A = this chain, B = another copy of it.
Amino acid sequence: MHLSPSSPIGIFDSGVGGLTVARAVMERLPRENIVYFGDTARVPYGVKSRETVARFAEQIARFLLAKQVKMLIIACNTMAAVAYDTVRALSPVPVLEVIDAGARTAVARTRNRRIGIIGTPSTIGSGAYVTAIQRYDQSGMFLATEACPLFVPLVEEGWLDHPVTRLTAFEYLTPLLAQNIDTLVLGCTHYPLLKPMLGSVMGQGVRLVDSAEAVSERAEDLLREMKLENPGQGEPEHVFHVTDVPQRFREVGERFLGRSLGTVRVESLC
């Protein structure tokens, strides 16, 4: 397989959430071509069995590899927790994922060695962030986790700084505030949209670690090491593949991406 600097980066998620990762990559690496895949027909993955999630991840990875990507980014916490080994085993190109990147950044940033982690019930229940943080820190940091099931629907409703969302955040985050953490990992690709509100609820003493930004930093480092940065002068190509076009897809997607969605193609995987 010949990798060229002009090859695209492949980014995939179970739905629209991974568009926050695509956005972070576009902002950090504005010359890179990107192919995004969102499995909108089969979202959400969090309630599916490990075997099913791994099978879906394999299908998507093969689809993107056929597009000659030079790197794969798993922009979905559920797939990162369950299917990283599967994807890495079949991929001839490097595979990055949001959990490892977020964990690494959190360990580097904390000063008092007390980290909080928030995510969907499925991500928190998997223990994947705790395991990943322990991989980068053997000395035993204090870790507190909290599942926040309503944040995803609140973001999809667009209530990013609504009184309802703020009240929900106080309800979920009060236990973490009581633990004197100095770092909070946003362990879900929907949460970057809540960053201003979460920052004001947590206060200035707590740094927020955004896994989307963290994985885009890792992608930048890796492309530099591999000498695969795209030097292209023209406009980069960004193509979005989805398996279904749900109601309000463009509206919600553009809120996540922070810009207009260009070409959207509907694909069938099964």
What is A's interface to B at a CB cutoff of 8 Å? 40-41, 43, 47-49, 52, 121-122, 125, 149-150, 152-154, 156-157, 159, 162-164, 167-168, 171, 244, 246-248
Complex Cα distance, B156 from A152, in Å, reads 13
Q: Is the CB of B244 within 8 A of A48?
A: yes
Question: A43: which of B47, B49, B149 is its contact (CB, 8 Å)?
Answer: B47
Q: Is the CB of B247 within 8 A of A125?
A: yes
B-chain residues with CB within 8 Å of residue A153 when the two chains form the complex: 149-150, 152-153
Question: A167: which of B43, B125, B149, B167 is its contact (CB, 8 Å)?
Answer: B167
B-chain residues with CB within 8 Å of residue A48 when the two chains form the complex: 41, 244
B-chain residues with CB within 8 Å of residue A49 when the two chains form the complex: 244
B-chain residues with CB within 8 Å of residue A246 when the two chains form the complex: 47
Copies in the complex: 2
- Whether A247 touches B122, Cβ cut-off 8 Å, given contacts A47-B40, A154-B150, A157-B150, is yes
B-chain residues with CB within 8 Å of residue A122 when the two chains form the complex: 247
Please name 30 pairs of A and B residues whose Cβ atoms are closer than 8 Å in the assembled complex, sorted by A.
A40-B47, A41-B48, A41-B52, A43-B47, A47-B244, A47-B246, A47-B247, A48-B244, A49-B244, A121-B247, A121-B248, A122-B247, A125-B247, A149-B153, A149-B156, A149-B157, A150-B150, A150-B153, A150-B154, A150-B157, A150-B159, A150-B164, A153-B153, A162-B171, A163-B167, A164-B164, A164-B167, A164-B168, A164-B171, A167-B167
A253 to nearest B CB, angstroms? 13
